[in-house]
Amino acid sequence: MTNSQSVPMMLQKNTTLGEFIIENQSEFRYSSGELSRLINSIRLAAKVVNHEVNKAGLVDILGTAGDTNVQGEDQQKLDVYANNAFIKTLTNREIVCGIASEEEDNFITIKGRNEQNDNKYVVLIDPLDGSSNIDVNVSVGTIFSIYRRITEPGTPVTLEDFLQPGKNQVAAGYIIYGTSTMIVYTTGHGVNGFTLNPAIGTYYLSHPNMKFPEDGKIYSVNEGNYVHFPQGVKDYIKYCQKEEGDRPYTSRYIGSLVSDFHRNMIKGGIYIYPNTAKDPNGKLRLLYECNPMALIAEQAGGKASNGFQRILDIQPTELHQRTPFICGSKHMVEKAEGFMQQHKPS
């Protein structure tokens, strides 16, 4: 039993998210309190969305909103609800100068009280990832990514503020609306997970200092697309399935990135969404899915690449650009990269 005196307050499991943010404020090099207020606003929005997600089956909020997003995907009503909830909450806190969302064609400029662009942070979100699972009651999630703006405060926010490589993120995290609702995030000093006590609406530090096991026995990939995968990915999948040593591995694929990632981070595993002939850059979006998950993975000792390049080093060129994504236990990602690099595209 760990003596509670030996564990810093900020990692004691009865710590609330609010106490943790205050305890960690001094760690953040821009410790002006704005990032803390920003994380707090995400915490509030997550509670609002959680309430709707958890009763989705009870009210007429299922089904599509009758519209499609910039990705050409049917917008689920909860997608729209979640998008609006996060935008509203982030707008009200006078901290953010711009928001980019999977559900918005272009970024949104947010002006401060004095109608100036004085706020320092931009936020990129996938408000409800895995939303195709909503109607079948499978876990979904929110993914967020936070940068300091590049342009001068007081000047209009520009696309340049959003098209930063993932290594520039000052914070990233996800909310998983599963059997319990959790917020998992990093500000560059490790990864911590907080579980919501719905009875009192408070998040408690339930998973301090989360670490990706270096090895694992779970691989997550949509094998329905196998015939369209690059040869290196096919070779890695066959490696996972071969009766040899600690293999075959177990195949687990929920169809919800946040859920597959979260399980793999706790148990050890690898998630792969490769490019195919139909989707030459894969399906997942670099800015508000892969970059935040890659930062969390690396902060927890894992790895994330496109098979050839570290995700966090990719210089974005478009807001909704996609990338092949391999992420998880360090040794598993390295093994998959080895197979892929035997068939490096010319």
List residues binding ligand P6P (CB under 6 A): 129-130, 132, 222, 255-257, 260, 283-284
Nearest distance, CB of residue 284 and ligand P6P, angstroms: 6
Tokens in use for 345?
């595209």
CA-CA-CA-CA torsion for 301, 304, 307, 312, nearest 10 degrees?
-120
Nearest distance, CB of residue 132 and ligand P6P, angstroms: 6
Please say which residue, 139 or 192, places its beta carbon nearer to ligand P6P: 139
Nearest distance, CB of residue 13 and ligand P6P, angstroms: 29
> Among residues 165, 131, 128, 133, which one has the least CA distance to residue 150?
165
Nearest distance, CB of residue 42 and ligand P6P, angstroms: 19
Tokens in use for 88?
């509203």
CB atoms near residue 12 (< 10 Å): 17
Tokens in use for 102?
């999977």
| Exposure on the CB side of residue 267, measured as CA atoms within 13 A | 17
Q: Which helix (H) or strand (E) holds 100?
A: strand 96-101
Instruction: Judge residue 159's burial from the number of C-beta atoms within 10 Å of its C-beta, 0-12 exposed, 13-18 middle, 19 or more buried.
Output: middle
Nearest distance, CB of residue 306 and ligand P6P, angstroms: 16
Please say which residue, 95 or 265, places its beta carbon nearer to ligand P6P: 265
Instruction: Judge residue 234's burial from the number of C-beta atoms within 10 Å of its C-beta, 0-12 exposed, 13-18 middle, 19 or more buried.
Output: middle
Q: For residue 218, what are the CA distances in angstroms to 22, 51, 241, 246, 297?
A: 36, 31, 11, 11, 16
Nearest distance, CB of residue 62 and ligand P6P, angstroms: 17
Please say which residue, 205 or 293, places its beta carbon nearer to ligand P6P: 293
Q: Which helix (H) or strand (E) holds 95?
A: none
Nearest distance, CB of residue 225 and ligand P6P, angstroms: 7
Please say which residue, 276 or 329, places its beta carbon nearer to ligand P6P: 276
| Exposure on the CB side of residue 314, measured as CA atoms within 13 A | 26
Please say which residue, 96 or 272, places its beta carbon nearer to ligand P6P: 272
Please say which residue, 255 or 301, places its beta carbon nearer to ligand P6P: 255
Please say which residue, 130 or 328, places its beta carbon nearer to ligand P6P: 130
Please say which residue, 257 or 286, places its beta carbon nearer to ligand P6P: 257
Nearest distance, CB of residue 250 and ligand P6P, angstroms: 17
| Exposure on the CB side of residue 340, measured as CA atoms within 13 A | 22
In contact, 272 and 233? CB cutoff 8 Å: yes
